[in-house]
């Protein structure tokens, strides 16, 4: 593991059991950070943390439901007691529950917003109130390009991502006077379990790249899916001093 400007920094990554969150945790761990990984998937989270630890990273698993405000507050307190003050927070937890609006259930709507928006609010509030007295910190939200582009059967997901994008910008405005930066990474189609859950067969990759005019789904000019590491690299840049004048 290499030592860079993140050496010894405490990083909290939500949704770190798989996909983009796992890649973000790995990126910070490889650069010497002390990483707290959280996810509701306890076994998968602990397995991911163990793998990174065996590779030489300093990674600790904290199973957590980000929709539970009291549990979030307690977890943040425990993380700071065990690892030290949180320097960087990355929101990568997210859920996708697809379906047409006219038949979409109240339960799926509530569950989508509970994780994709409320979870970000709960964790941001718990962490930022600790960052403010220290007058430093970085918060990065993994949103989606669906926040700005309508998607068939994805109204709840797209709307929750639009909401969390604006929430992060408002948070950035309020925290700027304390030297805390907040930014957003909005991936397009990325090869994760979430994306693959949308595919009916092995042709899913090609159909995603090509797009679908019938469903108003844009294609990918680069002719390839993003990887979780591609997105993680953007997160690490925004967390670095090279992005020291970037916020909102």
pTM of structure: 0.90
Which entry of 104, 157, 178, 216 is annotated as an active-site residue?
157
pLDDT, position 1: 43
Q: For the chain, which ranges sit under pLDDT 50?
A: 1-2
pLDDT, position 210: 57
pLDDT, position 30: 95
pLDDT, position 57: 94
Q: Does the annotation mark 157 as catalytic?
A: yes
pLDDT in tens, 59-115: 999 999 999 999 999 999 999 999 999 999 999 999 999 999 999 999 999 999 999
pLDDT, position 27: 96
pLDDT, position 208: 56
For the residues of 180-214, what is the DSSP string, one character each?
Answer: EEEEEE---SBSSHHHHTT-SSTTHHHHHHH-BGG
pLDDT, position 151: 85
> Could you tell me if 27 and 106 are in contact, meaning their C-beta atoms sit under 8 angstroms apart?
no
pLDDT, position 108: 98
- SS3 (DSSP) at 82: helix
> Among the residues of 67-216, which ranges form H helices?
69-83, 106-113, 120-134, 155-175, 193-196, 204-210
Domains and CATH numbers, the chain: 10-191+227-243 (3.40.50.720)
């Amino acid at each position: 593991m290499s030592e860079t400007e993140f050496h010894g920094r405490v990083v909290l990554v939500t949704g770190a059991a798989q996909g983009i969150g796992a890649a973000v945790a790995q990126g910070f761990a490889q650069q010497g950070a002390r990483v707290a990984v959280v996810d509701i998937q306890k076994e998968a989270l602990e397995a991911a943390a163990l793998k990174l630890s065996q590779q030489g990273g300093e990674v600790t698993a904290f199973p957590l439901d980000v929709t539970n405000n009291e549990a979030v507050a307690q977890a943040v307190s425990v993380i700071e007691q065990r690892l030290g003050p949180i320097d960087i927070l990355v929101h990568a937890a997210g859920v996708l529950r697809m379906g047409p609006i006219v038949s979409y259930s109240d339960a799926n709507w509530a569950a989508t917003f509970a994780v994709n928006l409320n979870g970000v609010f709960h964790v941001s509030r718990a962490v930022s109130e600790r960052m403010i007295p220290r007058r430093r910190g970085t918060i990065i939200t993994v949103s989606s390009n669906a926040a700005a582009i309508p998607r068939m059967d994805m109204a709840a997901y797209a709307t929750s991502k639009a909401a969390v994008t604006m929430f992060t910008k408002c948070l950035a405005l309020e925290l700027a006077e304390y030297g805390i930066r907040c930014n957003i990474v909005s991936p397009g189609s990325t090869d994760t379990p979430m994306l693959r859950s949308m595919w009916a067969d092995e042709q899913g990759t090609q159909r995603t790249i090509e797009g679908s005019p019938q469903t108003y789904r844009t294609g990918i000019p680069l002719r390839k899916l993003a990887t979780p590491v591609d997105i993680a690299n953007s997160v690490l840049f925004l967390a670095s001093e090279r992005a020291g004048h970037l916020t909102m």
